[in-house]
Amino acid sequence: MTSEYRHTPVLLAECLEQLTLQTQHTFVDATLGGAGHSFEVAKRLGHEGTLIGIDQDEVALAAARKKLESLPEQTRPALELLHGNFGELDGLLTSAEVPGIDAILFDLGVSSVQIDTPSRGFSFKEEAPLDMRMDPSTQTQTAAEIVNTYNAADLTRIIRAYSDEKWASRIADFIVREREKEPFETSGQLVEVIKAAIPASARRAGGHPAKRTFQALRIEVNSELDVLRRGLDAAIRWLNPKGRIAVISYHSLEDRIVKDTFASMANRCTCPPDLPVCVCGKEPILKVVTRKPILPTPEEIESNPRARSAKLRVAQKL
């Protein structure tokens, strides 16, 4: 584990603008990390506000607490830092005993610290155990278990669906064939098999050949898309009227879920389109604030390459 949790918050100024925070507000950082966003949010909430931070990484929680408690006590909001996954948002917010929330932020994906900690097994650039669990204290299934036990059809399905990998079927076949000789234990073993599966001509473009497969395995290990759907639904329920939800996503699967969830909550009518008036009674719950996602500036991408694929979407509770 790293002793210093460094993280440059993505789209920070844009998030602060869109969240429209005021003193006395209750804000939830559903993906607290090293408190990069929350540190600046805390300054806006002031002593009368409440900041609830959620993370499934104990290292992140400890680093975030240290950073947030460095703010002057007389101007610092009430802090409630919770160990858990935002898919459990209902239970976590119930335990925090808050009646409702005024703003919530999701900064999705794996953190740079998790990637840079070899023992976590997220990186295709480091030799490490094939783990990829975001919360090893509660999760049992690892990436190694998936590549060693899933059949070729299931491996193809998750690699293709979760990463849009053109060579998914071939990579799955190579994995199944190779594990018959020796089970996969490390990231390095898997990287070599992926390289062998993808033709040399295809490896010359599009970045590291293992990037997409590693992304797919990480999503499968952590059930990230199902967790996101549960987290968004819960967050919208907990928002007070005029409260805002902001979500930063980093790949098309996440962004599509966010976009579709916001759209479905903003247009809930199920009446046939030829009816002159609505009779179903399903009133909209949200107003979509960002019809198109907010993207990072070229200057931010240059200073923080992690921001390159980021998209920010915002909605407001009616």
Identify the CATH number of the domain in which residue 185 sits. 1.10.150.170
What pLDDT was estimated at residue 185? 95
Amino acid occupying residue 85: N
Q: Tell me if 53 sits within 8 A of 35, measured CB to CB.
A: yes
The CA-CA-CA angle for residues 19, 252, 219, to 5°, reads: 95
What pLDDT was estimated at residue 279? 83
Same domain, 133 and 107: no
What pLDDT was estimated at residue 99? 96
Same domain, 244 and 95: yes
Same domain, 90 and 234: yes
What pLDDT was estimated at residue 113? 57
Same domain, 75 and 109: yes
d(CA 67, CA 22): 21
What pLDDT was estimated at residue 268? 83
Q: What pTM, to 2 d.p., does this model score? A: 0.90
Domain count, the chain: 2
Same domain, 21 and 153: no
On the 0-12 / 13-18 / 19+ scale of CB atoms within 10 A, 72 is exposed
90 inside domain: yes
- Annotated binding-site members for S-adenosyl-L-methionine: 35-37, 55, 86, 107, 114
d(CA 190, CA 202): 18
- Annotated binding-site members: 35-37, 55, 86, 107, 114
d(CA 130, CA 213): 13
Same domain, 251 and 206: no
Same domain, 77 and 146: no
Q: Of 222, 240, 260, at which residue does a domain stop?
A: 222
What pLDDT was estimated at residue 3? 43
Domain residue limits at 300: 12-113+224-317
Same domain, 217 and 266: no
What pLDDT was estimated at residue 306? 87
CATH number at residue 50: 3.40.50.150
pLDDT tens, per residue, the chain with 318 residues? 344 555 689 999 999 999 999 999 999 999 999 999 999 999 999 999 999 999 988 888 999 999 999 999 999 999 999 999 999 999 999 999 999 999 999 999 776 555 556 556 567 777 889 999 988 878 889 999 999 999 999 999 999 999 999 999 999 999 999 999 999 999 999 999 999 999 998 887 778 899 999 999 999 999 999 999 999 999 999 999 999 999 999 999 999 999 999 999 999 888 888 888 888 888 899 999 999 999 999 999 999 998 999 999 999 999
CB neighbours of residue 266 within 10 Å: 15
What pLDDT was estimated at residue 16? 98
5 inside domain: no
165 inside domain: yes
Same domain, 97 and 147: no
What pLDDT was estimated at residue 289? 98
State the Rg of the chain over Cα: 21
Amino acid occupying residue 209: P
What phi and psi, each to the nearest 5 degrees, are found at residue 114? -60, -40
Give rounded-to-5 percent helix, strand, coil for the chain: 45, 15, 40
Same domain, 198 and 66: no
118 inside domain: no
Kindly list the distances between the CA atom of residue 188 and the CA atoms of 54, 109, 171, 178, in Å, as whole numbers in the listed order.
32, 22, 15, 13
Closest CA to 79 of 58, 42, 50, 106: 50
Question: Measured in Å, how far apart are the chain's first and last C-alpha atoms?
Answer: 43
Q: Of 192, 222, 252, at which residue does a domain stop?
A: 222
Kindly list the distances between the CA atom of residue 234 and the CA atoms of 113, 238, 251, 270, 313, in Å, as whole numbers in the listed order.
27, 6, 22, 22, 17
What pLDDT was estimated at residue 118? 57
Q: How many residues does the chain have?
A: 318
